[in-house]
Structure 1
Amino acid sequence: MARDRLSVVVTRRLPEAVEKRLSELFKVELRSEDTPMDRDQLVAAVQRADVLVPTITDEIDAALIGQAGPQLKLIANYGAGVDNIDVATARQRGILVSNTPDVLTEDTADMTMALILAVTRRIPEGLAVMQKGDWPGWAPTAYLGGRIAGRRLGILGMGRIGQAVARRAQAFGMQVHYHDRGRLRPETEDELGVTWWESLDRMVSRMDILTIHTPATPSTFHLMNARRLKLMKPDAVIVNTSRGEVIDENALTRMLRAGEIAGAGLDVYEFGTDINPRLRELPNVVLLPHMGSATLEGRMEMGEKVIINIKTFEDGHRPPDQVVPSML
């Protein structure tokens, strides 16, 4: 007798090819609107699904997991981060959690370099003038930015993405420095051409550009707080494509407005879509709508990982990208 297919509920629209493959393999409920599920819809989903496929914007907290039906056995997150999921509570309830790591490294590193260039070369200001039709012509002193070759780049968090940024920065002729809880192997430092700083404070105070690549954990919350932001040079630039809550956004806004930091390139925000309106008004800030991983190739690879995790689970094995509390 044929085994019943797993019931899979997907909380957001995914690339068409991913949705098609999910439908071929499982008894899947797809989202017709490209909007997040509200709380009631999420509750209903965990009460009927064998497998829930949420995204990083869905809050799968202890209260929601507590309302799950006994049939829910896997939360296959469509995203590398799992800070949207209470992994410990899920584990206590016998629910596995998986994610989609290692597919967005190159895309996020590309976007980091794009933000560095956009801020230092004042690209959005030039774009705005051209779109308005206000350009009077070339002038020797117009839109003067800064050359990034020779500048000191500080990388906060030297995981896969941090290392990918280091490789790109090296090609641009930058001096690359980093701080992390653990130091890289000497041969890796030599390959990347990077210098390790044991003290984050000392590194921050000496960098021309600081880029952040750390996960969201209790220890990284406001890691770049007001005190540490004040250590930055007045002509320095800060870039964040990792997690918004790593920076004290209000303190950053105040310092940018006061000219105590030269500029910022942000793809993530402390309060999600509720961005400080004063931050939006600043000409020395480039704001993007969480586009760091937004490539078709990346989204397809994320979908493939979700499918592999679900299929492996269905076959009675541990999902290859299972997340456990000790990993966080």
Structure 2
Amino acid sequence: MTKLLITRRHPDAVLDAARAFCDVTVRDSTAPLSEDELRASLQDYDAIMPTLGDTYSEHVFADVAAPRARILANFGVGYNHIDTIAAARHGIAVCNTPGAVTDATADIAMTLILMSARRAGEGERMLRAGNWQGWHPMQMLGMHVSGKTVGIIGMGNIGTAIARRCHYGFGMKVIYANRSEKRMEFPAEQMSQHELARHVDIVVVAVPGGRETHHLIGAGFLSSMRPHAHIVNISRGDVIDETALVTALQKGQIAGAGLDVYEHEPHVPPELIALENVTLLPHLGTAALDVRVAMGLMAVDNLRVFFSGESPPNLV
């Protein structure tokens, strides 16, 4: 029977589906695999279901000359923690779970847009601290989102879902930066990334993680944004240079930020935590039971198809 390592605990429906055709081992820890665990997993299991933080790097693969593992069925759409080139050299397939995460991640983007623009986190902290003195006309004035201009960096499935919500739900004008032009059922104007920064009220970063997008958003981009604008990141934490973002927020170069991901998770810089004009969520993008079940079942289906001798539907 196929030996499968699942690196974090999943909902019972996912585990039951995997146990139908695999001998399943589930780690108790919620922390990423250590380097020793990464190497052992490649040696001891036929298949692995890793997730964010389980860093299968080139040197990890290099340390295991003849891996037993034949497939990494990643739980999540992002797979920048896996060196897919090194995996291929070792004859290991890599899959992910696109589609299942799209709407949930887009919803979190909208949550962060509203929380940042309307200062919701700051207001809740004030109320919980007992500092609210009652309503008055100048209290907690934020930015009205309806009718504003949103700039989407990365118009893939998630970026498109965010743009659709902004256009139909809030009557927003949509501008986007993408490697290729996208045809959509609503008006959307393509611009270069830095041109976009100068024209929008809200920036949403929705690109994949990896070498190509590391620090894609840095000091230059942030300085091009308008002082009243907000930036939201639901992609990968290292897409934004956190040091540059802290500086921009501290200096008032931009009005605020909404973040669900961080450059060195789970570490969040104390300088970010100290700022009132930033909304910080603990990577909640897909944190809904039905979404996590759908993701897990998609990963399990990739495994089932692979071990039946066919090509998995979500091979990367």
Which bracket does the TM-score occupy, shorter chain normalised? over 0.9
How far apart are residue 52 of structure 1 and its match? Answer: 1.1
* Alpha carbons 1:154, 1:176 under 8 Å: kept: yes
Amino acid at match of 2:50: P
Distance 1:8 1:219 in 2: 31
Cα displacement (A) at 1:34? 3.1
Aligned-partner SS, 1:153: strand
Q: Deviations along 1:82-141, whole A, 9 cap, x unmatched?
A: 111111111111111111111111001101011010011111122112222332221111
Aligned to 1:7: 3
* Offset, 1:50: 0.4
Query: What is the CA–CA distance in structure 2 between the aligned matches of 1:322 and 1:117, rounded to whole Å?
Result: 35
**2:33–2:55 CA contact under 8 A, matched in 1:** no
Distance of aligned partners of 1:32 and 1:270 in 2 relative to their CA distance in 1, 3 Å threshold: closer
Q: Secondary structure at the match of 2:53?
A: coil
Q: Give 1:1-328 correspondences, 5 Å limit.
A: 5-68=1-64, 69-170=66-167, 171-185=169-183, 188=184, 191-197=185-191, 199-323=192-316
Task: Using the aligned pairs only, state the percent identity.
Answer: 40
8 Å Cα contact 1:148-1:173 kept in structure 2? no
- In 2, the alpha carbon distance for the partners of 1:224 and 1:42 equals 31
Q: How big is the shift at 1:166? A: 0.9
Gaps of 5+ in 2: none
Gaps of 5+ in 1: 324-328
Whole-angstrom CA distance in 2 between matches of 1:98 and 1:274: 27
In 2, are the aligned partners of 1:46 and 1:67 still within 8 Å (CA)?
Answer: no
1:326 equivalent in structure 2: none
| Contact persistence 2:33–2:53 (CA under 8 A) | no
- The more displaced of 36-45 and 275-284 is 36-45
Q: Is the 8 A contact 1:98 1:321 kept in 2?
A: yes
Paired amino acid for 2:244: A
CA contact (8 A) 1:96 1:322 kept: yes
Secondary structure of the residue aligned to 1:169 is helix
Question: Which amino acid letter does the alignment assign opposite residue 251 of structure 1?
Answer: A
Matched residue type, 2:161: A
Moved more, 215-224 or 301-310: 215-224
User: What amino acid is aligned across from residue 189 of structure 2 in structure 1?
Assistant: T
Note the C-alpha offset of 1:217: 3.3
Distance 2:42 2:214 in 1: 29
The offset of 1:247, in angstroms, is: 1.3
Find the aligned partners of 2:213 and 2:310 in 1 and give their Cα distance. Answer: 34
Q: What CA distance in whole angstroms lies between the structure 2 residues aligned with 1:64 and 1:32? A: 22
Structure 1 Cα separation of the partners of residues 208 and 28 of structure 2: 31
Question: Cα distance, 1:209 vs. partner?
Answer: 0.7
Measured after TM superposition, the shift of residue 60 of structure 1 is 0.7
Kindly state the Cα deviation for residue 311 of structure 1 after the two structures are TM-superposed.
0.7
Contact 1:81 1:99 in 2 (8 A): yes
Please tell me whether the aligned partners of residues 148 and 172 of structure 2 are also in contact (alpha carbons under 8 angstroms). Answer: yes
Distance of 2:241 and 2:63 partners within structure 1: 34
| Separation in 2, partners of 1:192, 1:71 | 49
In 2, Cα distance between equivalents of 1:317 and 1:67: 29
TM-score by length of 1: 0.92
Letter in 2 for 1:158: M
Residues 236-289 of structure 1: per-residue CA shift (max 9 Å, x gap): 111100011221111110111011111000111122223221111110100111
Do the aligned partners of 1:12 and 1:37 also contact (CA within 8 Å) in 2?
Answer: no
Distance in 2 separating the partners of 1:172 and 1:320: 35
Instruction: Output the CA distance in 2 between the equivalents of 1:53 and 1:67.
Output: 20
Give the secondary structure class of the aligned counterpart of 2:228: coil
CA 1:140 to 1:113, structure 2 compared with 1: closer, same or farther past 3 Å?
A: same
User: Equivalent residue of 2:208, what SS?
Assistant: coil
Letter in 2 for 1:124: G
- Aligned residue pairs total 314
